[in-house]
Chains A and B, each alone.
Chain A
Amino acid sequence: RKEVEQDPGPFNVPEGATVAFNCTYSNSASQSFFWYRQDCRKEPKLLMSVYSSGNEDGRFTAQLNRASQYISLLIRDSKLSDSATYLCVVDTGGFKTIFGAGTRLFVKA
């Protein structure tokens, strides 16, 4: 089993749709969680950190469920510019950061 698993997609959604991605992690001692965004052929960039209480940044909401060991990312009112690959990232502590393989999102007009 991979330490961090994501549905690779692709998710194809129309503009304005709400879409959600999940990510599961295997190490229950994991301490920090993030979502990164990667555009085609570009470097990953931090989208948002994920806090235990959940957090929101505009149209983006991140949730953490420690009991079930998963994190989620919800995108509301999808824009064409949201088309990208979304990487789930888990810091297990001990200086070990694990990147998921990513979920591809295509938003179409």
Chain B
Amino acid sequence: DADVTQTPRNRITKTGKRIMLECSQTKGHDRMYWYRQDPGLGLRLIYYSFDVKDINKGEISDGYSVSRQAQAKFSLSLESAIPNQTALYFCATSDRRAQETQYFGPGTRLLVL
């Protein structure tokens, strides 16, 4: 079984809709991250969380919110989706004792029409 899972894997939605992307991990890591990837831009950090009570904005948090429901779960919400949020979204985890090596989920492809 995968250590980091994301649901859904693919999603098509319409402008203005609310959508939630979910991430779960079985690695026991305390740190979790949400990134988006766009062609030519690399991975950009949206939000990160170092434990259940710690949530931090990343480089591009506008238009997104997150919830850390438990150590193993970290959800990303788009309150009102817009077309330029069309991207590949990755969740990642890391262990603070391991030089910040990050382990990624398989990604969610989101298309906002």
Contacts and interface: CB of A to CB of B under 8 A. Distances in A.
Interface of B is mostly: strand
Given A8-B40, A101-B41, A43 B101 contact: no
Interface in B57-104: 90, 99-104
B101 A34 contact: yes
B106 to A, nearest CB: 5
B106 A97 contact: no
B101 A49 contact: yes
A97 B40 contact: no
A55 B56 CA distance: 33
**Interface size range of chain B in the complex:** 20 to 34
A91 interface: yes
A99 B104 contact: no
A34 B103 CA distance: 13
Contacts of A101: 40-42
Contacts of A45: 104
Contacts of B100: 32, 91, 97
Given A43-B105, A46-B101, A95 B48 contact: yes
B91 to A, nearest CB: 9
A62 B100 CA distance: 18
B45 interface: yes
Contacts of A102: 42
Contacts of B50: 95
B104 A44 contact: yes
Nearest to A8: B40
B107 A42 contact: yes
Nearest to A100: B42
Interface string B35-61: 100001111110010100000100000
Contacts of A46: 101-103
23 contacts: A32-B99, A34-B101, A42-B107, A43-B90, A43-B104, A43-B106, A44-B43, A44-B104, A45-B104, A46-B101, A46-B103, A49-B101, A87-B42, A87-B43, A95-B56, A97-B100, A97-B102, A99-B42, A99-B44, A100-B42, A101-B41, A101-B42, A102-B42
